[in-house]
Amino acid sequence: MKSKEPGLIASIIPLVFLILLLSFNVKFFGDDTLGGSNQMALIFAAALAAIIAALSGFKWNTLRDGIVKSIGSAMPSILILFLIGSLAGTWMISGVVPGLIYYGLKVLNPKIFLFASVIITALVSLATGSSWSTVATIGIALLGIGKAMGMSEAVVAGAIISGAYFGDKMSPMSDTTNLAPAMAGTDLFTHIRYMVYTTLPSILITLVIFLIMGFTMDIDGNSGMVEEVLLVLDNNFNLNPLLFLVPAFLIFIIIRKVAPVPALLAAALLGGIFAVIFQPDIVREVGGNSGSYLKDSYIAVMKSLFGPVSVKTSLDSVNELLVTKGMAGMLNTIWLIIAAMVFGGIMEASGMLRVITKTVISYVKSTAGLVASTVGTCLFFNLTASDQYISIVVPGRMYAKAYRDKNLKPELLSRTLEDSGTVTSVLIPWNTCGATQAGVLGVSTFAYAPFAFFNIISPFMSIFMAAFNIKIRKIDEDIKSSRGKKSGK
């Protein structure tokens, strides 16, 4: 039997089935959907997609190859996720994260904390080009500070995500910021400059919202609690500015364009070395107080790298901040990513994704409609393929000719890919980005998503600019400008 692409209705069925199962999971499992229910939903949806593909003549080997290719594309993210778990562990027992929390509580005013969190994470992410590294390092510390101030974890996580993804989106060192113009056919710095028109208003609106929230939230009664947290941290850790050499080292080597995997591994190991040097009491406690500091050091560093570690203090709220899960703590998230890649791989290999997106393009008439369709397609791929790179690559390839045919310059496409594909990935629980950030911060995607204002506003801002024809660049404008210069005008 010769294979043929399934029809539109058949192609939509696995997606509808997945959304139905995921909605049941939210209703019946609540915040515990990452524990296995979402993974199984993706596997069942993938099985349904495979059955439909088989009925259309696709051989299992073809679908299997699609799955392997899809999982292979996610392997860099999986490796990074493992190392983020290790880094969180050594940075906790070394006093780096407690130190960031301690000095942050001393410096940051609760009223402007959310506003400042956006700016801090934006600057770090802009410098490093990595939202993942930013959230896993300074983001964890800011979340601890916010919790100590009595703020909602979901709100603080929303501020952290907003700033981190702004910086990632605008950094010339970001992989997605390089990928989008490559797919659209423009250069990096033209792409970044053109993104300012939509990204700057989006981040300014986000900052205003968090500033208003900070001044209207009832957090004045927590000053005594903050003082208690400061005292407990000071009593249990040897806190000094030298500890900040560890995050400074990570930022420096990322700026020097060291790849994320070796950079995170080096920073995690450096955290372990600093733990042995600066936190002997913590090392002995975690290492089991064997009587040999060498043995305790080895056990403590290894445990912080691979498994759960906690430091007990006299204050329960501080104890919650001093718990890490190492590499093992990332396994549920990685399980989710692999399940998502299985589903995405079958949908891609069978042509179902292509059928759905081809149908969407056929209805596009105006510039605003084309931009809105691009935004919708990127969101669709984030939902189905569960990977932000696919949500940039596939729509970029799909729409490049359509933009040229409508006399639109390629930077409009590249900007739209980032305004939607990059920033919405973190809002979807089963996407690699959403699963990762939820796992790293310990806050469910459904909880922080309503407060990730920058990520929500960005795609709408892209559509708004197109609808009102604001700074929409046309190809023939360059031709007219060139002719004018030649004629001496």
What are the domain boundaries of the chain?
8-74+331-477, 79-329
The pair of structure tokens assigned to 348 is: 């891609």
- CA quadruple 378, 382, 388, 392: dihedral, nearest 10: -20
pTM, 2 dp: 0.72
Identify the pLDDT of residue 285.
Answer: 92
Identify the pLDDT of residue 350.
Answer: 92
The pair of structure tokens assigned to 19 is: 């959304």
SS (H, E, C) 287-332: HCCCCCHHHHHHHHHHHHHHCCEECCCCCHHHHHHCEECCHHHHHH
Q: Among 217, 247, 159, which residue's Cα sits nearest to residue 450?
A: 159
| Amino acid present at 5 | E
Name the DSSP class of 387.
-
Q: Is 76 exposed, middle or buried (0-12, 13-18, 19+ CB in 10 A)?
A: middle
Identify the pLDDT of residue 479.
Answer: 54
Name the DSSP class of 418.
I
Cβ 73 vs Cβ 390: under 8 Å: yes
Question: Sign of the C-alpha dihedral, residues 268, 144, 424, 170?
Answer: negative
Identify the pLDDT of residue 157.
Answer: 96
Identify the pLDDT of residue 35.
Answer: 80
Q: Among 265, 268, 274, 282, which residue's Cα sits nearest to residue 245?
A: 274
CA atoms within 13 A on the CB side of 455: 30
Q: Among 219, 197, 200, which residue's Cα sits nearest to residue 208?
A: 200
The pair of structure tokens assigned to 259 is: 């790849």
Show the low-confidence residues of the chain (pLDDT under 50).
221, 489
Identify the pLDDT of residue 220.
Answer: 52
Identify the pLDDT of residue 221.
Answer: 47
Identify the pLDDT of residue 128.
Answer: 67
The pair of structure tokens assigned to 38 is: 């979402």
